[in-house]
Structure 1
Amino acid sequence: MSGYEQFRGKRLALVESMLHDAFYNGIHRARDFGCEVWLLVRGEEWYTGGRPLSGHPLGRVDRVVQVDTHDWRAVAGVLTDADGKPLVDGVLSFSDYHTEVTARVAESLGLPSQGLEAVRAANHKHLLREALGDDPANVRWRLVTRREELEAAVGHVGLPLIAKPPSEAISFGVRKCLTWDQVLDAWRELSAVRASLRGQPRPGHVLLEEYVRGTEVSVESMTAGGVTHFFGATSKELHKDTLLEEAHSFPVALDAGVWEEVRACVDRALRAVSYRQGPAHTEVMITEDGPRIVEVNPRLPAHMISTMVTDVCGTDPHLDAKLLAVGAEHVPHRGPGDGAVGGAAVVVLFPDEPGEFTGIDGTGDTAGTDSTGGEGPSPGVSVHLHHEPGDPVATRLDNSASVGFVYARAHSAKEALDEARRAAGRIRIHTRKEAP
């Protein structure tokens, strides 16, 4: 992991955080290399549920600053001295709801940036569709801003289609519609949402996109010095009704020609939005007619995907992204076929019933064995929970309903996924219905 010594003496401001250990651990690994980390939060309760932040992994940063993280001027204000000079070497966010604010702050302070317009286009999905234009990886789409536009939009996009909020995350509000009545229901539901999950105002617009059939993967990449470096593709196992991501494995064993097509279309998409630097988690549908861009996310992926990349490729995307943010000259190294070792997988744990999380059974036997007898990583399984007893858990409507992950390493991605599924099949999640 050469190059990470460049962290020493640098100061990085992180605007909010995604949840789960991979993001917390990424902060502390940078601190271990000598980086001073400030965490900017609007409110601690988002992370602690009312518990003290001092007992939370995020409480172990060098400095916690409470500020309105929805207001870029307020964020810039706490990161500058009396003369308006930046107090930090970089500012970064992996929270979908704060990457745009962060890019605006970085550009206003003259700090390294992914590019404000690039982040805007990625976060507001209709702007990405506009930027892709007639690229063959684009799909038919329409942004519906009022009810009177709905029939014409459906006529253009066709059925079946996907309806979604144009500016949301964690698969919130994504609806597959097979009929006109389902489209109308989705419009009524989604157009009534006038705030994001983090409280930012929303106009109630609804994005309709062509439903394309194929195999969906995500592509993990890091752009540095105008060049995008690809770590590989991650499988996406989706629930048939909710379309939620239920399992992943890395790296997907794609035919060389298909992988080149996928890489090329992602590279074109990032260039179309003028993505300057940093991580991207791009969702792609591989169809009979070639790859199609689903979404571009200007951040590191969730669901322990970055952990899989680290374990398999030997580079740490959390550290790579933070180094670029503080202005270091850094080129991420290795990828599948170039020093990659084995495979990894994760299965997402969802409760069967919503309510109060009371506990989990079946995690005692998580150690795998090397069934091949060959050299390389032996299968190993671990369980990672991000809920504690007493926490409320939701119905499986978006990714916030998960209570944890089963993670596995093995000789191949397929073997790791089999191990993770076997372990997940032994787990039982217990909830207690909350009082009405």
Structure 2
Amino acid sequence: MSNLVMVMPYQAYIAKAHQEGFRISAIWDRAVADRLYGSQAGAYLAEVQAQVEEFRLVDFTDRTAYAEAIRAAVREFNADYVWHLGSEDSMATAYQTAAELGRAVNPPEAVTLVNDKLAMRRLLRERGISTVRFAEAGHWSEVAGLLADFELPVVLKPTTLAGSRGTYLLTDPADLPAWGQSLAGYQYDGPLLVEEYLRGPEFSVETLTVDGVHHVIGVTRKLLGPLPHFVEMGHLFPEPDSDQTRQVAALAVTLLDAAGYRCGPAHTEVIVTADGPRIVESQARLGGDKIPVIIELATGIDVKQEVFAALAGRAPAAPRSRSVGHIAFLDLPLGVLRAVRGLEAVRELDFVDSVSFPFKVGQTIAQTVNSKTRHGFVILTGADAAQALERADRVRSMITVEVEAPALAGQVVTP
């Protein structure tokens, strides 16, 4: 039995940790929960508190109070480790504090090199790995002065935001003020990246690291939505074994080695260009968008459980694909929802695992501009990728909505 301080432990993780013999002292931020769960945040945190041995609330943006909460939890809970598997924007303080206390699962420098897009780009440039032309700006107003060194379009990225928030394909410099305004909507005023636009199919590599050894769970094919916002509209797992897949996986492992990553999950995004695979970004956590669910459907491997097995020092089981798991996001007409049909019929299909439809009658279906503004999803399986994609198209055709064509239809809403 080990005592574990966890920052932002999702409910789905808590039972898995207990099964591996860990007791949990949980640290959460109510404002973060509000952003993730809206009106259900209070109930969500109450359930977390009921399931763990110790519970604290703190403001992650108050670094002094946040660090002190970790120190107090380690001291009072007699913790063996501090671990953060939630949103990467609050990881740095957690790992720095854990390292000071000798309780870090990973060196804080390794987590920063994996999570921070600018730090990762600098590392790759220094090591001559997956070279991508880039420049850095302290503020969006500086970007225009950097464009002379690039061929348009270019990709613009906040260095520490996740979930496609603020990532934008710039084709016309006249659009920069509008992009700057969207960053303000995210309350982001940090450093930015200007990167060459990488063209080609996109994948993510799902890994679990145990004692510095990186185990590849598999490669996920990513289905990108319409530009300029780079929001994925689907994922397929696993991508079949091939020379290309092995190159993509090997590149992710090379990054984790270079960063000095020691333990836990990582999710590394790669585009295969005409010049070979190039790293887009990485995160020191499991992949989002229900990727762990489609991995389990496809292989039977519960990667959430394997995460805590890794912390206990056990390597993950070798993945064996039995089907293809697919999450397909919906793309609905924009407007005020008046009626929806077909959801129950979809749920009854034997190849459908789950359906999420986040709108109620009277709510506005707005344009998708990041991962939080998508229109719901279906998770399903197929014998192969072709069948999974065909089944997703069938499901989309079964779900019909009536919307009132509103003045809001073209409005971009940023949550």
**TM-score of the superposed pair, with normalisation by structure 2:** 0.84
> Which residue, out of 164, 168, 185, partners 2:175?
185
Contact 1:96 1:123 in 2 (8 A): yes
Matched, 1:421 2:405: no
Contact 1:76 1:109 in 2 (8 A): no
Q: Hey, what's the Cα distance between the residues in 2 that align with 1:420 and 1:59?
A: 37
Q: What's the RMSD between the two structures over aligned residues?
A: 3.3
Aligned residue for 1:331?
315
Q: Hey, what's the Cα distance between the residues in 1 that align with 2:386 and 2:20?
A: 34
Letter in 2 for 1:118: A
State the 1:408 CA deviation: 0.5
State the 1:317 CA deviation: 1.9
> Which residue, out of 35, 53, 67, partners 1:46?
35
108-117 or 294-303, larger mean C-alpha shift = 108-117
State the 1:193 CA deviation: 6.5
1:70-85 matches, cutoff 5 A: 70-81=61-72, 84=75
211-220 or 126-135, larger mean C-alpha shift = 126-135
Greater helix fraction, Structure 1 or Structure 2: 2
Aligned residue for 1:220?
206
State the 1:51 CA deviation: 4.6
1:277-426 matches, cutoff 5 A: 277-324=263-310, 327-335=311-319, 339-353=320-334, 360-365=340-345, 366-368=347-349, 379-385=351-357, 394-426=366-398
State the 1:52 CA deviation: 6.7
1:1-400 matches, cutoff 5 A: 9-16=1-8, 24-31=11-18, 35-43=22-30, 44-51=33-40, 53-54=42-43, 58=48, 60-62=50-52, 63-81=54-72, 84=75, 87-90=78-81, 91-133=83-125, 135-145=128-138, 150=143, 153-178=146-171, 182-186=172-176, 188-191=177-180, 197=186, 202-203=189-190, 205-241=191-227, 242-255=229-242, 257-324=243-310, 327-335=311-319, 339-353=320-334, 360-365=340-345, 366-368=347-349, 379-385=351-357, 394-400=366-372
Could you tell me which runs of 5 or more consecutive residues in structure 1 were left unpaired when the two chains were aligned. 1-8, 18-22, 370-378
SS at match of 2:344: coil
State the 1:354 CA deviation: 6.0
Q: Hey, what's the Cα distance between the residues in 2 that align with 1:175 and 1:296?
A: 18
Letter in 1 for 2:118: H
SS at match of 1:301: coil
85-94 or 214-223, larger mean C-alpha shift = 85-94
Deviations 1:217-264 (A, max 9, x none): 111111111111111111111112232100111111252x21221122
Go from structure 1 to structure 2 and tell me whether the alpha carbon gap of 1:147 and 1:331 turns closer, same or farther (over 3 Å shift): closer
When the two structures are aligned, how many residues end up with a matched partner? 400
Could you tell me which runs of 5 or more consecutive residues in structure 2 were left unpaired when the two chains were aligned. none
Letter in 2 for 1:24: Q
Q: Hey, what's the Cα distance between the residues in 1 that align with 2:29 and 2:133?
A: 38
Q: Hey, what's the Cα distance between the residues in 2 that align with 1:232 and 1:315?
A: 11
Q: Hey, what's the Cα distance between the residues in 2 that align with 1:393 and 1:412?
A: 32
Contact 1:250 1:309 in 2 (8 A): yes
Go from structure 1 to structure 2 and tell me whether the alpha carbon gap of 1:36 and 1:84 turns closer, same or farther (over 3 Å shift): closer
62-71 or 383-392, larger mean C-alpha shift = 383-392
SS at match of 2:120: helix
Go from structure 1 to structure 2 and tell me whether the alpha carbon gap of 1:147 and 1:245 turns closer, same or farther (over 3 Å shift): closer
Contact 2:165 2:371 in 1 (8 A): yes
Letter in 1 for 2:315: V
Once the two structures are aligned, what percentage of the paired residues are identical?
A: 25
Contact 1:142 1:157 in 2 (8 A): no
Go from structure 1 to structure 2 and tell me whether the alpha carbon gap of 1:302 and 1:232 turns closer, same or farther (over 3 Å shift): same
Contact 1:247 1:348 in 2 (8 A): yes
Contact 2:157 2:166 in 1 (8 A): yes
State the 1:381 CA deviation: 4.1
Go from structure 1 to structure 2 and tell me whether the alpha carbon gap of 1:151 and 1:243 turns closer, same or farther (over 3 Å shift): closer
Q: Hey, what's the Cα distance between the residues in 1 that align with 2:49 and 2:366?
A: 26
Letter in 2 for 1:183: P
Aligned residue for 1:4?
none
State the 1:411 CA deviation: 2.0
Deviations 1:321-360 (A, max 9, x none): 2344xx411211212xxx22211101113553366x7774
Contact 1:381 1:407 in 2 (8 A): yes
Go from structure 1 to structure 2 and tell me whether the alpha carbon gap of 1:128 and 1:358 turns closer, same or farther (over 3 Å shift): farther
